[in-house]
A and B are shown apart, each in its own frame.
Chain A
Amino acid sequence: MYLYIQLAITGVSMGMLYALMAMGLILIVKAVGVLNFAHGQLFMLGSYLTFMLTHQWNLPLWGVVLCGIVVFAICGAAYMFACYWPLRNSPWKVTVIISTLGASIALEELVRIIWGSNPLTMKPIVEGTLYIGSAYLSYQYLFIILIGGGLMAFVYFLFEKSFIGKLMQATAQDRYAADLIGIPTVVAIVATYMISMCLSGTGGWLAGPLFLVSQSLSSFAQKAFAGIVLGGFGSVKGAIVGCILIGLIESFSLLITDSYKDAIVFLVLIIVLVVRPTGIFGEKIAEKA
């Protein structure tokens, strides 16, 4: 019984990490209509940058949070101007995808050159372990759920309720029309990239203490992709639910097997697609000609 509680909590917190990444991905897809295949690398970069802030600059927690937001925003903007802006008028979306692939290689290598290829240990943000009967959980997992949930609520309010969110939504829906009515679409797109980077960077910050800060953190993105597909077509809500489901499947598959947990995750994904190709929350939307 306690084991199940433990697995459920770790599953949800893993799902939260995937969801942070997935939200950023969906926001970018909605804003500019392209996939960002370097998102896992941005997650990893976030992890390394927060490692730098906490352990190399020795900042206190509030300092890490504040500096982190600024650094992530700068990175997001730089990323956007490097990989998307020069290609925005390209007639073919694939060129942008390939440029994000190039960026993923470059980022991974940049990190390797700066911080070396050995995994780095990062001190947990919240130390200590919680004991529930025979199950034990480090507080870090609970902290991830807390922060993840908070960020999700923040993004929801930002996009659905605030003025700047409406600007970003308008840009996402029809850039030309948004330009016409005087919305600075460049700012809206940069803001989307900044928020996206902040989300996945925070994910990296949260994941660092649990999984060591290393280049292999970027493989988390594959689970985020899986969660997006599982959740449904392009809805942020669907992506969050899909990612949490992926996290739960992953952690409960530990009951059966250890080494095949990735295989089980993707097998479930493929089965779901065969049964229900629109994903869990997907609705059939008529295509535009």
Chain B
Amino acid sequence: MLMTRKKGFTLTHAGYIAAAVLCVLIFIFLPSEDVVSRYMAKVINEGFIYFIAVLGLCVMLGMGGQVTFSTAGMMGIGAYGTAILATRFGMPTLPALLISVVVGGIFSFVMGLALFRLKGSYFSFASIGFTTLLYTIFSNWMEVTGGPDGISRIPALDLGFLSCDNYYDYFRVYFIVAIICFLVVVRMRKTSFGRALASVRDNEIAARSFGINAYMTKVFSFTIAGVLACLAGAMYALHAGYISPEPFKYDQSTIYLIMVMLGGVDSTFGAFIGSMLLTILPEQMRFLQSYYKLVYGVGVIILMVVMPMGIMGMVHALRNKIRMIIKRKKTAPVQAGTEVS
């Protein structure tokens, strides 16, 4: 990046502080009966869960350029792992969550080793197979997953000092988890791994000639996406208290892909906007009834035509345009390379 780092307090710092203050305010004031209804709190929590899963896609698709349909399947592993450990083995929820995330991470690493022997579109096809395979297991292995009936009576999340009794408690916990995951992914863009991944996306052969192990870079990105999806799945299971195979179907993966594209694939914050919009919007669009999905599908096509880089992409394009105008007035030299975060 060519951006010269200015000393002292800048507008960017002010932005960070404002964002932090806003987060604290949301954390304190939003989770109460007066501000949002119980039902809305539940919907927003689901938005956070999807956001964490979509962050994985942000790494895979936005940074690595790999279209994957494995998100729903990996969420299923996290959800079923947690649910089985917590109900059948009577494990406390937090260790159950952690164990299922670790196991899911190892599993996705191994699957990544296998799937990334394929390239590009063929990887996408194989990841569909992967999700369908997992879905078949979820819906047929009666003894372990409960088949189509799923697993019910999953205990609520218990952190030791805080037991989540209602959706507002969940809101607080999931909000913090989502912020941590967000910061991790933002930071990841600036690490050597993040840059290696971006270079693999832009030109794999060139990346390899620089000594980047493209294969392992992609496998690691798949693992990170898998861990995030597992975490989201585990959070989903604890939040809903009941799981069935349906939310872990291949179709659901397409929705995650649309979420990440809606927000803007280059932007981590865009993933948040996309997942929240697509979770809350269906609730607000009830009046469309059976036409909702039709509108939604057509909307996706129009979205891709009008703003292929999503909402954040458009925001950044606008901001750059304004900056150019200001700079032209000052006749200062143009500095390239604004990184989206």
Residues of B within 8 A of A267 (CB): 133
The reply to whether the CB of B250 lies closer than 8 angstroms to some CB of chain A is yes
* A92 in contact with B297 (CB, 8 Å): no
Residues of A within 8 A of B136 (CB): 259-260, 262-263, 266
A208 to B167, CA, bound (A): 46
Q: Please report A residues at the B interface, Cβ cutoff 8 Å.
A: 29, 35, 37, 82-83, 86-87, 90, 92, 94-99, 101-110, 112-113, 222, 225-226, 228-229, 233, 259-260, 262-263, 265-267, 269-270, 273-274, 277, 287, 289
**Inside 8 A of A228's CB, which chain B residues have their CB?**
122, 125
Give the complex CA separation of A87 and B261 in angstroms. 15
Partner pick for A35 among B121, B140, B291, CB 8 A cutoff: B121
- Chain A hits for B117, CB < 8 A: 273-274, 277
CA distance A229 to B119 in the complex (A): 11
In the complex, the answer to whether A270 meets B258 with C-beta atoms within 8 Å is: no
* CB within 8 Å for A273 and B114 given contacts A101-B258, A104-B254, A226-B125: yes
A101 to B303, CA, bound (A): 12
Contact A225–B298 (Cβ < 8 Å): no
Is there an interface contact between A101 and B300, defined as CB atoms closer than 8 Å? yes
Fill in one digit per residue for B261-274: 1 if any A CB lies within 8 Å of its CB, else 0: 10001000000000
Cα distance, A34 to B61, chains bound together (Å): 16
Say whether A90 contacts B308, CB under 8 Å: yes
Tell me which residues across on chain A come within 8 A of B206, comparing CB atoms: 289
Besides A229-B122, A273-B117, 13 more A-B contacts (Cβ < 8 Å) are A102-B298, A106-B298, A106-B300, A106-B301, A108-B293, A222-B129, A265-B129, A266-B132, A270-B114, A273-B114, A274-B114, A274-B117, A277-B117
Contacting A at CB under 8 A, from B184-240, are 203-206
Neighbouring A residues of B203 by C-beta, 8 Å: 289
| Contact present for B261 and A94 (CB under 8 Å) | yes
- When the two chains form their complex, are residues A96 and B130 in contact, meaning their CB atoms are under 8 A apart? no
B293 touches A106 (CB 8 A): yes
Contact assessment for B125 and A95 in the assembled complex, using a CB-CB cutoff below 8 Å = no
Residues of A within 8 A of B290 (CB): 109, 112-113
Taken together as a complex, chains A and B put the C-alpha atoms of A222 and B294 apart, in Å, by 22
Q: Which of B61, B125, B204, B304 contacts A225 (CB 8 A)?
A: B125
Contact of A98 among B137, B140, B204, B300 (CB under 8 A): B300
Whether A102 contacts B130 in the complex (CB less than 8 A), given A94-B61, A273-B115, comes out as no
Inter-chain CA distance A107–B254, complex, in Å, is 14
User: In the complex, what residue of chain B is closest to A38 when comparing beta carbons?
Assistant: B297
Most chain B beta carbons < 10 A, residue from A86, A90, A266: A266
Output the least CB separation between A41 and chain B (Å). Answer: 10
> What residues on B are CB-neighbors of A109 within 8 Å?
290-291, 293-294, 296-297
User: Which chain A residue shows the least CB distance to B305?
Assistant: A86
Q: Pull 26 A–B residue pairs with CB atoms less than 8 Å apart, ordered by A.
A: A87-B308, A90-B304, A95-B261, A101-B257, A101-B300, A102-B304, A103-B301, A104-B297, A105-B300, A106-B294, A106-B296, A106-B297, A109-B290, A109-B296, A113-B290, A113-B294, A222-B129, A262-B132, A263-B136, A263-B137, A266-B129, A266-B133, A270-B115, A270-B129, A273-B114, A289-B205
Choose among A103, A108, A109, A110 the residue with the greatest number of B CB atoms under 10 Å from its CB: A109
Q: A98-B257, A106-B294 are in contact. Are A225 and B299 (CB under 8 A)?
A: no
Report the bound CA distance from A36 to B139 in whole Å.
27
Residue of A nearest to B296 (CB): A105
How close is A241's CB to chain B, nearest CB, in angstroms?
16
Instruction: Report the minimal beta-carbon distance from A106 to chain B, rounded to whole angstroms.
Output: 3
A107 to B122, CA, bound (A): 24
Determine whether B94 belongs to the interface, using a CB cutoff of 8 Å to chain A. no
Give residues 234-293 of B contacting A (CB, 8 Å): 250, 254, 257-258, 261, 265, 290-291, 293
Per the bound structure, the CA–CA distance linking A110 and B205 in Å amounts to: 43
User: How far is A263 from B65 in the complex, measured between Cα atoms in Å?
Assistant: 28
| Chain A residues with CB under 8 A of B65 | 94
Residues of chain A contacted by B125 (CB below 8 angstroms) = 35, 225-226, 228-229
Given contacts A259-B140, A262-B133, A274-B114, is CB(A99)–CB(B300) below 8 Å?
yes
Asked if residues B129 and A102 are in contact (CB atoms below 8 Å), the reply is no
Tell me, yes or no, whether B177 is within 8 Å of chain A by CB: no
Name which of A35, A86, A105 has the most chain B CB atoms within 10 A of its CB: A105
Against A, the Cβ 8 Å flags (1 = close, 0 = not) of B80-113 are 0000000000000000000000000000000000
The answer to whether A29 touches B114 (Cβ under 8 A) is no
B67 lies within 8 A of chain A by Cβ = yes
**Assembly CA distance A29 to B125 (angstroms):** 13
* Given A105-B293, A266-B133, A273-B118: A225 and B301 interface contact (C-beta under 8 Å): no
Interface flags, B145-168, vs A, CB<8A=1, else 0: 000000000000000000000000
Instruction: Provide the bound-state CA to CA distance between A206 and B257, in Å.
Output: 32
CA distance A226 to B258 in the complex (A): 23
How many Å lie between the Cα of A259 and that of B290 in the bound state? 32
